[in-house]
Structure 1
Amino acid sequence: MIKLAIVGRPNVGKSSLFNAILKKRVSIISDEDGVTRDRIYSLATFEHKYFTLIDTGGIDLKSNISFKEDIKIQALIAIKEADVIVFVVDSKVGITTLDLELAKFLLKSKKKIVLAVNKIDNRDKTFDYSNFLKLGIKNITLISAIRNFQINLLLRNSLNGFELTEPKEKNTLNIALIGRPNVGKSTLFNSLMNDNRAIISSIAGTTRDSFDQEVIVNDKSYTFIDTAGLKRKNKEKTAVEKFAHIRTVDSIKRADVCLLLVDAKEGVTAQDKKILKTIKENQKSAIILINKFDEIKNYKQEHYLTEIKDDISYYPAIIISALMKRNLKKIFEYIDIVDNNRKIALSTPVINKFIKEIYKRYNPAMINGKRLKIYYATQIDNNPAKFIMFVNYPNLMQESYKKYILNNLRKSFSFLGSPIIFDIIKKPQKEYSFSKK
C-alpha cells in the first residue's frame, strides 16, 4: 500500500494536516514543541481508494538533545518508508534555516516530494509563494490544515501517478497495550514488533499518541495499539496530557484484549487498580504483564503471583522482561486463550444444571424471612458472555452470592481473563426453581 509521510520542522501544522486528511482528531495538536513524539500510522482514503498516512515528530537535523534526537530518528525512518513525502512549511514564518536544511536532506532521498505551504488565509488571493521556490521543490500546494483549505488538491498532487488500491479485509485481534507511565510499554512494544517504532525514553509520559501496528505470529494477525501511559487525572496539567488520557481510554474501548503492564518493583499500585476498573467498566478481556521482575532479588515468581492475586481479580498474570525479551511468546498464547474464553457459548441445559448444583451446594442466606430462589438461567450473548437469571426477588441476590456464582462459573467453564455479565430478573414463583422444598 502507498505510504505518504508528513514531515517538517516543529509546529508547522503537521498534526493538523494529518487530522484534516483523516477528517478526525488522531494526532494531538499543540503549540508545545515535540508533542508528536512517535510516528503515527493510519489508513486514509482519497477518492474511494486507500493509502497509509504517517505523521512524524518535528525534525531538527542538528539537534544533539537526546529526546529530540529520538524524534529525528523516528521521522527519518518514516521518510525511508514513504513513497511520497509532504513537506510542510509555515507561510506566516517563511523559510527558516531549518527548512532549507530539511529540504536539502529530503531531495537527497529521491522520493516524490510535495511542498505544503500551510496556514494560508483562503481569503487571500494574492499570496506570493515565490520565496518558497528557494527550497528547490517545484510541486507546491498552498493549504490551511485548520480551515481544511485545498486539502484535496494537496492529496491529488501528492498521490498522482501512484496506483491506490482497496486493502483486503483482515481478520485481526485488536490489542491495547496500556499501563502507567514508564513501566516499559514502548520497550515491550518494540520487542514485540522487533522495530524501533516507538521512542524509548526514561522520561515518564514519552508516548503520548496512540497508534496501531500489526504483527503476524503463527499466521495470525494481532494489531497492537501502543497507547500513552494512563496518568492520574489530577496530575494531567495540560490539555495535551488530558487528550492523551482520553485517547488511551478510547483504545481500551476498541480493543479485543487489553495488556496491562505492571512494574514488578512497585507491585499493583492504586493507579493500576484504577486502570483495571476502566477495563472492567468497558467489559474487556485482559492479561496482566508483570515487567522488570528480573530487577527483584531473592523473590520467587509463584510467591509474587500469590501475593497479587486479590489485586488482579480474574485476570491471568504473566511475568516477563520486555528488555531481555523473556516470556514474550507466552503473551500471544494467553491472548489466544483469553480471546477464545470471551467467545464461549453455553447451552441453556448446561447452565441450568450448573446453577442447580451450586445452589444445592450452598443455599443463599435468608433475608427478612425470605430466601432467594433461582428459577432458571440462560446465556443471551457472548464476546463477552452475558447471562440472564430469573429469580423470585432480585433484591435478595447479595453481592457475595453473585460472586459465588461467578467464581464457580469461571472454574467450571474457563472464563479466565474475560468478563461475565449477569442480569437478575424477577420471575413469577409458579415457575420451576432450584430451591429446596
Structure 2
Amino acid sequence: MLDSLLKNGYTEKLKVNKIVVSIIGKPNVGKSTLFNLLVNKGIAVTSETEGTTRDILIKKTKFKELEFIFIDTGGLLKNETDIDISVNSKIIDAIKNSDIVLFVVDNNSYFNQLEEELLNILRKSFSKNINNKTILVINKSESKQENPEYYSLGLNDVLKISCKTKMNIDELKFKIYEKSIKLIENDLLNKESKYRDYQEEGVKISFVGRPNVGKSSLINAILNDDRVIVSDIAGTTRDSIDIPFKFEDSNFILIDTPGVRRKSNISSKLEAYSITRSIGTIKYSDIVILVIDISEGLTRQDKRLAFQIYKHLKPAIILANKFDLLIDNYRNNFKNKIDNNFIENLKYELADSIREQLYLINYAPIYFVSAKTKYQLDNILYAIKSIKTELERDFSQYNLLEIFQNMLLSVPLPYIVESKGTKKQKKIKFKIYDVIYYKEDIPTFKVVNNFDFKEIPESFKNYLKNNLSKILNINNIPIKLLFSRKLS
C-alpha cells in the first residue's frame, strides 16, 4: 500500500502530514491506558475512578513512516456541572480536529445513552466519512464472550483489544496506519485541524502551587484560550498537562500541574499520585512558576514547594495571583482612596516579605498579577523569555580564576588545623587552583581547591555563590558551585 502511494507521487504528503488521532468514550473504558500503550509512555494518569481524565492530553509518536498526534480525552459526562460541560466541549473539539477517532467501548457493559450521544457526534462531524475516520475499539475483551450490540452500530472497522493483556494492540496500530494511508491517498485529512502543527520542543515551564490558587486560570489567560479546565473546586486538574506555546521567536511548553496540598488533606490514592506527578514535574522543568494566592498570604505548603524548587536548582518566577482581591479588600477597609503610589508601596512591602519567607529561592523575580482581570500578565511572558536568555549565556570567556581569587581578598579565609607529631600544628588556609565552567541546565562552576568538600563552611560557599552571581550579573537564575580537592 505504501509503495503504491510513493509511486503515485505522495512522497511529500507523507513527509509533511501528521495524523491526528483522538481517543473518545464514556468514563472508565480504558482510554488513558490505551493512550499510554499507543504512545509507549506512561503519560496519562489512570485509575478505576470515573472521570480521572478531565483535560485533553496530547503526545506525538511515530509508526513506520508516519507521525501521529494522539489526543486522550475525558469520558463524556451528563452536563450536570460546569466541569462536565467543559470536559464534553473538549471532547467535541478534539473530534472536530481529528483525522481518525478511536471510539473505545467496554466489552463487559451495555451500549448506553452517553455512547449513543458520542456516536451521534461522530455522525454529525464526519457525515458520510464516518467509516473512513472511525475505529470502534472494544476494550476489556480478555474473555471470548462477545457483545453483539457493538456490531450493529453501523461502524465497519471494529477491533477487540485488551489493554490489560495488550491483546491486539499492535493490530490496532497497524489498523490506524492503514486508515491513515487511505486518508492521505484520498485527500481526506482534516485540513483545518489546529493540532496538526503540535510540537513538543521548547523550554518547559511548569506552573505549581496549592489547589485553587489559579494555575489553570493563569495559563488560560496567558494563552487567551480556555485550554485548561478551571473551576472553583479544588483539585479540578488531576494530571500534568503539556501545552505548546510560541511567543515571539521562542517555543515554550507550558505545564499545568495538580494542586499540592498537605498530606493530612489528601483524600485518595488518585490525588496522592497526581501530587507526586506534580512535584516530579519540577525536576524535569527548565523554569518553574510558583503560583501563590496573595489574598490569603503565604502558607507552609508554598514554602515546601519553594524548597522543591531550591532542591532541584530550578530557575523560578513567583506569581502572586489574585492581587485584585487584595486591593479590593484594602479599598473596602480604608476610607481614603487607594492610589497608584499606595499600590506600588504595597508591592514593595509584600515582595520583601515573600523574599524573606521564601529565602531559598530569593533569586526568583516576583510579579503581582490577576488571572481574572489579566493585571500585569503581559510581564510574565517577557520575564520567561528573559530567564531563557540568561540560561543561554556563556561564561567561558571570563577569567574565572582571577574573579574567585579577588573574592578571597575581601573575606576571612576558612582554614583547617593539621597536626604533625604531638606538638606541631599547622594552619592551612583555603586556596583555589583553578575554576572550570560547565554549560549545563544552569551555569555550573567547578572550584579546584585544597579542601575536602565537607571542610568548607556552608556560609563560605554561599558567599562565593552570591558574589559570583553579582560579578557575572546573573540575576534571576540559580548557579551551581562544585568543589573538588586537587590531588597532590
Pair 1:384 & 2:442 matched: yes
Select which of 382, 387, 391 maps to 1:333.
Answer: 382
In structure 2, the residue corresponding to 1:115 is in which secondary structure? Answer: strand
Pair 1:150 & 2:168 matched: yes
The alignment yields a C-alpha RMSD, in angstroms, of 2.5
- TM-score, normalization: structure 2? 0.80
Select which of 76, 92, 97 maps to 1:59.
Answer: 76
Between Structure 1 and Structure 2, how many residues are aligned? Answer: 424
Q: Which residue of 1 aligns with 2:24?
A: 7
Residue 7 of structure 1, CA deviation: 0.8
Whether the 8 Å CA contact 1:371–1:396 is kept in 2: the answer is no
Amino acid at match of 2:298: V
Pair 1:83 & 2:99 matched: yes
Residue 103 of structure 1, CA deviation: 1.4
Q: Which residue of 1 aligns with 2:135?
A: 114
Amino acid at match of 1:290: A
Q: Which residue of 1 aligns with 2:325?
A: 295
Q: Distance in 1 between matches of 2:149 and 2:255?
A: 42
Select which of 438, 461, 465 maps to 1:402.
Answer: 461
Higher mean alpha-carbon deviation, 231-240 vs 381-390, is at 231-240
Q: Distance in 2 between matches of 1:138 and 1:196?
A: 35
Q: Distance in 2 between matches of 1:265 and 1:280?
A: 24
Whether the 8 Å CA contact 1:391–1:424 is kept in 2: the answer is yes
Q: Distance in 1 between matches of 2:462 and 2:301?
A: 24
Distance 1:65 1:374, change over 3 A: same
- TM-score, normalization: structure 1? 0.89
Distance 1:95 1:303, change over 3 A: same
1:158-205 alpha-carbon deviations (Å, 9 max, x no partner): 3412449x9898752121122221111110111122221211111111
In structure 2, the residue corresponding to 1:207 is in which secondary structure? Answer: coil
Q: Which residue of 2 aligns with 1:221?
A: 251
- Name structure 1 gaps, 5 residues minimum: 430-437
Distance 1:4 1:348, change over 3 A: closer
Distance 1:376 1:318, change over 3 A: farther
Whether the 8 Å CA contact 1:378–1:389 is kept in 2: the answer is yes
In structure 2, the residue corresponding to 1:68 is in which secondary structure? Answer: helix
In structure 2, the residue corresponding to 1:361 is in which secondary structure? Answer: coil
1:229-274 alpha-carbon deviations (Å, 9 max, x no partner): 2233443342212221232233222221111111112333221222
In structure 1, the residue corresponding to 2:103 is in which secondary structure? Answer: strand
Amino acid at match of 1:393: F
Whether the 8 Å CA contact 1:227–1:248 is kept in 2: the answer is yes
1:85-133 alpha-carbon deviations (Å, 9 max, x no partner): 1111111012223222321232111152211111001x62xx4443213
Residue 139 of structure 1, CA deviation: 1.9
Equivalent residue runs for 1:248-327 within 5 Å: 248-297=278-327, 298=330, 300-310=346-356, 311=358, 312-327=361-376
Q: Which residue of 2 aligns with 1:182?
A: 212
Q: Distance in 2 between matches of 1:420 and 1:385?
A: 5
Distance 1:153 1:349, change over 3 A: closer
- Name structure 2 gaps, 5 residues minimum: 1-17, 190-195, 331-342, 418-425
Q: Distance in 2 between matches of 1:249 and 1:203?
A: 21
Select which of 96, 109, 113 maps to 2:112.
Answer: 96
In structure 2, the residue corresponding to 1:2 is in which secondary structure? Answer: strand
Amino acid at match of 1:271: Q
In structure 2, the residue corresponding to 1:209 is in which secondary structure? Answer: coil
Q: Distance in 2 between matches of 1:363 and 1:162?
A: 74
Equivalent residue runs for 1:190-269 within 5 Å: 190-269=220-299
Distance 1:264 1:371, change over 3 A: farther
Q: Distance in 1 between matches of 2:349 and 2:103?
A: 55
Whether the 8 Å CA contact 2:200–2:244 is kept in 1: the answer is no
In structure 2, the residue corresponding to 1:414 is in which secondary structure? Answer: coil
Higher mean alpha-carbon deviation, 299-308 vs 420-429, is at 420-429
Residue 144 of structure 1, CA deviation: 1.0
In structure 1, the residue corresponding to 2:273 is in which secondary structure? Answer: helix
Equivalent residue runs for 1:127-138 within 5 Å: 127-138=145-156
Pair 1:46 & 2:103 matched: no
Residue 30 of structure 1, CA deviation: 1.4
Residue 5 of structure 1, CA deviation: 0.8
Amino acid at match of 2:26: R
Q: Which residue of 1 aligns with 2:90?
A: 74
Amino acid at match of 2:444: K
Residue 345 of structure 1, CA deviation: 3.3
Residue 42 of structure 1, CA deviation: 1.0
Distance 1:372 1:288, change over 3 A: farther
Amino acid at match of 1:378: V
Residue 371 of structure 1, CA deviation: 6.1
Residue 23 of structure 1, CA deviation: 2.2
1:7-65 alpha-carbon deviations (Å, 9 max, x no partner): 111111111111121222111111212110111111122224211111111103x4322
Q: Distance in 1 between matches of 2:36 and 2:120?
A: 27
Distance 1:153 1:170, change over 3 A: closer
Q: Which residue of 2 aligns with 1:422?
A: 481
